[in-house]
Chains A and B, each alone.
Chain A
Amino acid sequence: GENVEQHPSTLSVQEGDSAVIKCTYSDSASNYFPWYKQELGKRPQLIIDIRSNVGEKKDQRIAVTLNKTAKHFSLHITETQPEDSAVYFCAASIMGGANSKLTFGKGITLSVRP
């Protein structure tokens, strides 16, 4: 089955700097890659996703890039703010298959220092 790994496990950046979080996946059939943000004690919420037919997607300060050949995708956050501090989970799944379950990475704790 699919295996998703995230690295690093923690990341600390200065407010205003950029943060990059990387994930790798193992199943070449995976074609949908969402990123979820989970604030302390809150539920995970989707912040951006990408399908395998594109290599990059942007939404204001957030972007995701996908390298299908290398089987990795990355979340880029520019101009970080303290409210970006949270745990970020990447995930992978197969669209159109019998099961659209998400396989999650273990999460990265992002701390933005004021």
Chain B
Amino acid sequence: GAGVSQSPSNKVTEKGKDVELRCDPISGHTALYWYRQRLGQGLEFLIYFQGNSAPDKSGLPSDRFSAERTGESVSTLTIQRTQQEDSAVYLCASSLVSTGGYEQYFGPGTRLTVT
């Protein structure tokens, strides 16, 4: 079946603009995660959804970052007033259940460049 998809694949934006990144998880997966990967670095946890609620937002770097999930499906990560340090690949992952111990399937990522 279809895997996790993300859009856009690449986004170039000017400093100070807002951006929206979209994630379509695998159908039926209740858990959804957002990670950030800076160049040459590991994956940094941002936020986790269980269904449509977000029990853990502790990884969001600042109040410029927000995310929502609707219909236990699509999720949108919004970055307001982008800064150059926001440049990174933003990865979304979904998992069948939220209790852990199951594979997280990653999307291809959105490469964000803030100029």
Residue numbers of B with Cβ under 8 A of A are: 31, 33, 35, 41-45, 48, 55-56, 59, 91, 95, 98-104, 106-109
Contacts and interface: CB of A to CB of B under 8 A. Distances in A.
A93 B97 CA distance: 14
A95 B99 contact: yes
B42 A49 contact: no
Interface stretch (A14-22, A61-69, A76-84, A101-109): A101-109
Contacts of A94: 100
A44 B33 contact: no
A102 B43 contact: yes
Nearest to B58: A1
Contacts of A43: 91, 106-109
B101 A51 contact: yes
Contacts of B41: 106-107
Contact of A100 (B44, B101, B106, B108): B101
20 contacts: A43-B107, A43-B109, A44-B106, A46-B103, A89-B42, A98-B55, A100-B48, A100-B95, A100-B101, A100-B102, A101-B59, A102-B33, A102-B43, A102-B45, A102-B104, A104-B42, A104-B45, A106-B41, A106-B42, A107-B42
A95 B95 CA distance: 13
A50 to B, nearest CB: 10
Contact of B101 (A36, A95, A101, A107): A95
Contact of B45 (A32, A34, A101): A101
B40 to A, nearest CB: 8
Contacts of A107: 41-42
A97 B43 contact: no
Interface string A24-61: 00000001101010000011111001010000000000
A44 to B, nearest CB: 5
